[in-house]
Amino acid sequence: MEPWENFPKVSLIITTFNNERTIGECLRSIFELDYPKNLLEVIIVDGGSKDSTVKIAEKYPAKVIVRPSNAPSAYNYAVKIAKGELIAIVDADVKVEKNWLRTLVKHLKDPQVGGVGGGVETWNPQHALPRCIGYDIKYRYDRLRKSSDAKRLATMNLLVKRCVIEEVGGFDESLPTQYDTDFGYKVTDKGYKLVFEPEAKCYHFNRPTWLEYFKQQLQYGKNTLKLYFKRPKLVRGDKITDFGMNLQPVLLAFIFVSVILGLTLEKARVMLCIAAFTLVFLLTYYVIYAMRISLYFRDPAAMLLVIVYFVRAMAWTLGGTITVLKALKADRGKDQNWLTYVS
């Protein structure tokens, strides 16, 4: 084991909002890290929780700040007051393994590496829905094992050089979600590498109910469209979110429009057949993909992903539609391109 004096000062940032069911375990795992306590600063920025999140957090030796804002704004604020040369970020619904930070830190000795992220496991696998959500996340992130560097990593499990965050201008505060994707590309656009270290594991508390999952994905859908107008090349997909995922909301929107036209216009009855064919194609795609993941993890329950994918596609479609409608409404009567709203 490397001597403690060779380890850098790390500021670990957590943003919270109504995370009372997970924040305690999250912080317990952080303060049990195999890392020198005098070299670890923990900053919690709460967005105005209505539950007991702040009271639970205040039981730990962390700096707790209540500052109503979205996550990227909270991160930017925390980075400004942080004292560490390295900035670690985990979600409030994540717990980490004891050697997590030490495993990540070693990669940042390379001057070409701007940040490093770890593997994602499921915190609550005893229930079928969160277990299957976890299978999907892990399967997608496992693709990074085959690459020498990544283009972006999730902020649920991330360690970045402070100077790199400052150089790229921090996180985009106009993206309440998907800001980590944008941040990753800002880092790699500057010529830095992002490294995926699967052995630095965190355990994510996946949404345990369908309603919670739908609401989460709805927010992703709203901000994914904003992100893609900012970075159009991302529509083609990457190792984490491939082109197939991006195409699904488009196909679902096409099905919906086709059904409306087919039911309202007699000359467009053929659109009902086209919609049915497209829906069968989409569901077949889901079944094949779910079977692949079911075999990968040797768990027949992963076939539940057929429904998960359909719910996600519906949420993304609705989220994207809401973003477009808001943009059009904001542009009404103004002499400007509506795309500026989503950029």
pLDDT band at residue 332 using 50, 70 and 90 as cut-offs: low
Q: Rounded CA gap, 9 and 6, in Å?
A: 10
pLDDT band at residue 143 using 50, 70 and 90 as cut-offs: confident
Instruction: Please give the span between the terminal C-alpha atoms of the chain, in angstroms, as a whole number.
Output: 47
Per-residue pLDDT averaged across 270-288, rounded?
A: 96
Q: Are 53 and 18 in contact (CB under 8 A)?
A: yes
Assigned domain for 215 exists: no
Assigned domain for 216 exists: no
Task: Mark whether 68 and 190 lie in a shared domain.
Answer: yes
Assigned domain for 315 exists: yes
| pLDDT score, position 148 | 64
Task: Mark whether 114 and 160 lie in a shared domain.
Answer: yes
| pLDDT score, position 267 | 86
| pLDDT score, position 334 | 60
Assigned domain for 257 exists: yes
Task: Mark whether 28 and 61 lie in a shared domain.
Answer: yes
Assigned domain for 300 exists: yes
Q: Are 96 and 30 in contact (CB under 8 A)?
A: yes
> Bridge partners of 116?
159, 195
pLDDT band at residue 328 using 50, 70 and 90 as cut-offs: confident
Q: What is the CATH number of the domain that holds 73?
A: 3.90.550.10
Residue bearing tokens 């529509």? 235
Angle at 318 between CA 315 and CA 319, to 5 degrees: 80
Task: Mark whether 204 and 235 lie in a shared domain.
Answer: no
pTM: 0.90
Task: Mark whether 245 and 156 lie in a shared domain.
Answer: no
Task: Mark whether 166 and 272 lie in a shared domain.
Answer: no
pLDDT band at residue 266 using 50, 70 and 90 as cut-offs: confident
Q: Which domain holds residue 173?
A: 4-208
Structural domains counted in the chain: 2
pLDDT band at residue 3 using 50, 70 and 90 as cut-offs: low
Assigned domain for 58 exists: yes
Task: Mark whether 242 and 272 lie in a shared domain.
Answer: yes
pLDDT per position as a tens digit, 61-112? 999 999 999 999 999 999 999 999 999 999 999 999 999 999 999 999 999 9
Task: Mark whether 72 and 124 lie in a shared domain.
Answer: yes
Assigned domain for 223 exists: no
